[in-house]
Amino acid sequence: MEKWMLIDGNSIAYRAFFSMPLLTNAAGQHTNAVFGFTLMLLKLLDQEKPTHVLVAFDAGKITFRHEGYTEYKGGREKTPPELSEQFPVLKELLNAFNISQFELSGYEADDIIGTLTRVADEKGVSTVVVTGDKDMLQLASDKVTIAVTRKGVSEVDLYSPEAIQEKYGLVPLQIIDLKGLMGDTSDNIPGVPGVGEKTALKLLHEHGSVENVLDNLDKLKGKLKENIENHKDDAIMSKRLATIFREVPIEQGTDEIRYDGYDAVKLAEAFRKLEFKSLIERLQLGADAGDAEEAAQASAAELSIHVIESDKDEALLEQLLQTLEKTDKNGLYIESVGENPHHAELIGMAVAAEEAVYALPITVLEQPFAAKLRDWLEQPSKPKYGFDLHKAELALTWRGIGFKGAAFDVQLAAYLLDPTEASQTLSGINEKHSLPAVPSDDAVYGKGAKFKVPAAATLYRHLALKAEAVRRLVPIMTEELGRTGMSKLYFDLEQPLSRILAGMESLGIKVEKRELETLGSDLERQLTAIISDIYKHAGTEFNIGSPKQLGEILFDKLGLPAKKKTKTGYSTDAEVLEELAPYHEIIPLILHYRQLSKLQSTYVEGLLKEIREETGKVHTYYRQTIAATGRLSSQFPNLQNIPIRLEEGRKIRKAFVPSEPGWYILAADYSQIELRVLAHISGDANLKEAFINDMDIHTKTAMDVFGVTAEQVDSNMRRQAKAVNFGIVYGISDFGLSQNLGITRRDAGQFIEQYLEVFEGVRRFMDDIKTQARKDGYVTTLLERRRYLNDINASNFNIRSFAERTAMNTPIQGTAADIIKLAMVQMDAALRERKLKSRMLLQVHDELVFEVPEDELELMKSLVPEVMAGALTLDVPLKADVNYGVNWYEAK
DNA sequence: ACGATCACG
DNA sequence: ACGTACGTGATCGTT
């Protein structure tokens, strides 16, 4: 027997919102309407046991009811942003429930439900309609019952036609007449003034319908008669407005709203995100929310853990290897201590295979009896499923142990699924999926100064739990990547790239110690001179590097005007100092001091510390799971921020040299990749044309914005146009541009307006991407990389504006990141295929750096830009410029 | 541990 | 009216 449940989504969400206190989760997302909705849903699913469920939503603001009565729903307060931000969340949650949703442009939820109840009546299917709106009572029939929420949302009153008769003395269709007479302030339906529920009911009991009341006006008298006479048309129109339209063109069959129960894993994940702990418990959706350690012990107890410590355990090892032979499903966890994998100490590993987990200290791998396990690690054909295999591979490599055959990395997958998720720990990912708890690393090892490797047994148990968690997470995350359209991005791009990055990092780049030392002593001399000069001007010695002391000297002692303040005191940043330059001779000295001491401490001393004694190389660590846009980041040392803009700093690049005598450094960088990407994704005809003709984009922008010819563009106009282009990429605001150019907000605003008039496709993109972000709660890049924007519907202007700029910037910056990553994978393949000796060393967001032997120079000069430009075909050409020299400085 | 500052794209 | 450009990491001084 079919049983349908049709829910008026907007109405219930509204009721829930106003009946619950404002709840928020840790991410600042309001959740009260979603919570109330869920309580109602769980209760009614249990009570009614429907076989089919549909939640209908209103779509858009304009419905057919507005035709002829534009004020419909006019007086209504705007939906509070705290509520509207919950709709995307609610819709996502309904997906986790496996409940169908429907909305149709131009119609309200009422009409969709009205249409389906008509179908239900025709088919004779027993149906319950859930709403907060008594208007819907007009749909009641012997098959259709209306559940109207009462006080909050979890209690409902059920109305059958009999119940309506009993309460109002009306048949269901007369509810429309009731509304026609009394009106409805919330929908701005006027009705007749002075007629409320009581009078309307009396009139209807006597005359039956609005029309009959109007035909029998002579039977009325006094003020009532006068009011109805004067508002005849209003009454007729109000009745029309209150009538639910039951002929909505719904195409799909009702089979599509079948409800077969929720997906516990998805639902648990959704509840966890929303922090509905009580509901997780109530539905027994996962591990108890109790003590993590306790839970870990409980799950560890169920887990059979075998420790392999010496050749006495050879039988266990054999058992592990046999299991690995039998099945490709495994979970590998390799533990290292320390942030820098090039220096990390490996302390142990665990492999989960089928029902058992095997844990061992890394030293075992170096013993002869474990040679086969080492082979397994080194075999590309033996798939490994792990967590942060990139780091593991590097740490193993430094220990002389090879690693090949990475098949899936839970950390990398988690990053793609939500690149902004702060907790990229295995424990966090595990918890998010409501799997048996794994204690956090902090809990086991302690953090910061308290870090300590625990006793062997504790360590093995922890590693075993992590390996087991990996094994369980792999299929879940593989499925999630598929569901979010990111399988290709993961398997064809990010995963291959992680191997390539590990290779680049192990290779390292040579840095001339002598060159840095020479630069350093030069800086030292200059700094000594500047420091004493500064002391002279200040009349006292102080720590110039202390913003606090500097502020006191400048603003208190020397009496310079303070411009900006920070949380802790005066701001003394370069922007402030530059404004102060005309007031005192000390200012340029301080700016110069800052510049030189930065070079000295970060780039000379800092870099020297990173050079490996044995090889003279530095080995950066590219992190693939940090940047929210999909870019890489670089650490220990950061080789993505080596100075270039000022000549003094640029000299640092002279120290970066090829590792083989007679070779060259070759650097290729994309030309205007972000604006080219913008041209493609916005489809702006003008911007596309500019790149198709390979014009100087800033000059072209200046021509269009200022309305002049190429010859008339002076350097200042070009500079301003360049700033506008930057602004566009960042998600423009007039204030931001005015700051950058030192002009008024008005002027900046006019610039932007001028720009958007000429580049109208860009304007459309900016508008569309924000709308789409509000609807979906995330934005994507060309390769479907995703970034969630939780704040896109925030009520706080600042927070929301930030999210909007992010919505505009992320597809641009992120697509550019996609493209250079593609180029890296293709370049790696090209070097292998052609068996070239040249090596890819560095990536700096839009630039790739290689070391190249002389006999490959000519080839590489054409190959690299060719591969980079051809990495992805867009509607505009991509372009890469190439340079080379005996060091990185000369490759310009 | 955190904020201010400044290096890069 | 609200007050900001997007994305990172290293170093220093202060708490």
Q: Which of residues 653-712 of A touch strand B (CB under 7 A)?
A: 669
Is A878 within a domain?
yes
**CATH number of the domain bearing residue A861:** 3.30.70.370
Number of independent structural domains in chain A: 6
Residue A546 CA to C4 C1' — how many Å?
Answer: 27
A195 and A126 in a single domain? The answer is: no
Confidence of residue A287 (pLDDT cuts 50, 70, 90): very low
A782 and A689 in a single domain? The answer is: yes
Asked if strand B contacts A601 at the CB level, meaning under 7 A, the answer is no
The proportion of chain A whose per-residue pLDDT surpasses 70, expressed as a percent, equals 93
Asked if strand B contacts A594 at the CB level, meaning under 7 A, the answer is yes
> What pLDDT is recorded for position A832?
98
> What pLDDT is recorded for position A297?
55
Tell me: cis bond preceding A865? Omega within 30 of 0 counts: no
pLDDT at A295 over 60: no
A318 and A403 in a single domain? The answer is: yes
| Gap between the Cα atoms of A130 and A155, Å rounded | 11
Residue with tokens 């077969």: A260
pLDDT at A79 over 90: no
| Gap between the Cα atoms of A719 and A698, Å rounded | 8
Q: What tokens does A747 get?
A: 């002027």
Confidence of residue A172 (pLDDT cuts 50, 70, 90): confident
A183 and A98 in a single domain? The answer is: no
Which CA-bearing residue is nearest the C1' of B9?
A845
Asked if strand B contacts A573 at the CB level, meaning under 7 A, the answer is yes
Confidence of residue A66 (pLDDT cuts 50, 70, 90): low
Quote the domain boundaries for residue A130. Answer: 1-163+253-283
pLDDT tens readout for residues A134-161:
888 888 988 898 888 776 666 778 888 8
pLDDT tens readout for residues A740-795:
998 999 999 999 999 999 999 999 999 999 999 999 999 999 999 999 999 999 99
With CA of A632 and C1' of each nucleotide, the nearest comes out as C8
| Gap between the Cα atoms of A774 and A769, Å rounded | 9
Asked if strand B contacts A466 at the CB level, meaning under 7 A, the answer is no
Asked if strand B contacts A641 at the CB level, meaning under 7 A, the answer is yes
> What pLDDT is recorded for position A469?
96
Is A890 within a domain?
no
Is A652 within a domain?
yes
Is A78 within a domain?
yes
Is A661 within a domain?
no
pLDDT tens readout for residues A296-338:
455 556 789 999 999 999 999 999 999 999 999 999 999 999 9
**CATH number of the domain bearing residue A430:** 3.30.420.10
With CA of A569 and C1' of each nucleotide, the nearest comes out as B4
Question: How crowded is residue A744: how many other Cβ atoms within 10 Å of its Cβ?
Answer: 11
> What pLDDT is recorded for position A120?
84
A463, A350 contact by CB (below 8 A): yes
Is A139 within a domain?
yes
Which CA-bearing residue is nearest the C1' of C12?
A545
pLDDT tens readout for residues A361-405:
999 999 999 999 999 999 999 999 999 999 999 999 999 999 999
A42 and A101 in a single domain? The answer is: yes
**CATH number of the domain bearing residue A582:** 1.20.1060.10
pLDDT tens readout for residues A451-471:
899 999 999 999 999 999 999
A123 and A230 in a single domain? The answer is: no
Confidence of residue A182 (pLDDT cuts 50, 70, 90): confident
A763 and A711 in a single domain? The answer is: yes
> What pLDDT is recorded for position A290?
37
Which CA-bearing residue is nearest the C1' of C10?
A602
Among A187, A211, A243, the domain-final residue is A243
A33, A21 contact by CB (below 8 A): no
Asked if strand B contacts A342 at the CB level, meaning under 7 A, the answer is no
A485 and A533 in a single domain? The answer is: no
Which CA-bearing residue is nearest the C1' of C13?
A546
Lowest mean pLDDT among A100-114, A144-158, A662-676: A144-158
Residue A757 sits at φ, ψ, to 5 deg, of -75, -35
* Residue A209 CB-density burial (10 A; 0-12 exposed, 13-18 middle, 19+ buried): middle
Asked if strand B contacts A506 at the CB level, meaning under 7 A, the answer is no
Is A517 within a domain?
yes
> What pLDDT is recorded for position A291?
41
A642, A652 contact by CB (below 8 A): yes
With CA of A644 and C1' of each nucleotide, the nearest comes out as B8
Residue A350 CA to B5 C1' — how many Å?
Answer: 43
pLDDT at A267 over 90: no
Which CA-bearing residue is nearest the C1' of C2?
A797
Which residue, among A674, A656, A675, A673, has the nearest Cα to A665 in the 3D structure?
Answer: A656
A576 and A706 in a single domain? The answer is: no
With CA of A814 and C1' of each nucleotide, the nearest comes out as C7
Residue A22 CA to C1 C1' — how many Å?
Answer: 25
HSE-up (13 A, CA, CB side) for residue A113:
36
Q: CA A743, A744, A747 angle in degrees (round to 5)?
A: 90
A361 and A487 in a single domain? The answer is: yes
Residue A847 CA to B9 C1' — how many Å?
Answer: 9
Asked if strand B contacts A577 at the CB level, meaning under 7 A, the answer is yes
pLDDT at A523 over 50: yes
Among A756, A785, A816, the domain-final residue is A816
Question: How crowded is residue A197: how many other Cβ atoms within 10 Å of its Cβ?
Answer: 11
Is A856 within a domain?
yes
- Cβ-proximal residues to A758 (8 Å cutoff; 6+ apart), any chain: A686, A704, A705
Residue A732 CA to C15 C1' — how many Å?
Answer: 37
**CATH number of the domain bearing residue A203:** 1.10.150.20
> What pLDDT is recorded for position A292?
41
Among A771, A790, A816, the domain-final residue is A816
Lowest mean pLDDT among A11-20, A91-100, A453-462, A620-629: A11-20
More confident position, A289 or A505: A505
A46 and A110 in a single domain? The answer is: yes
A323 and A441 in a single domain? The answer is: yes
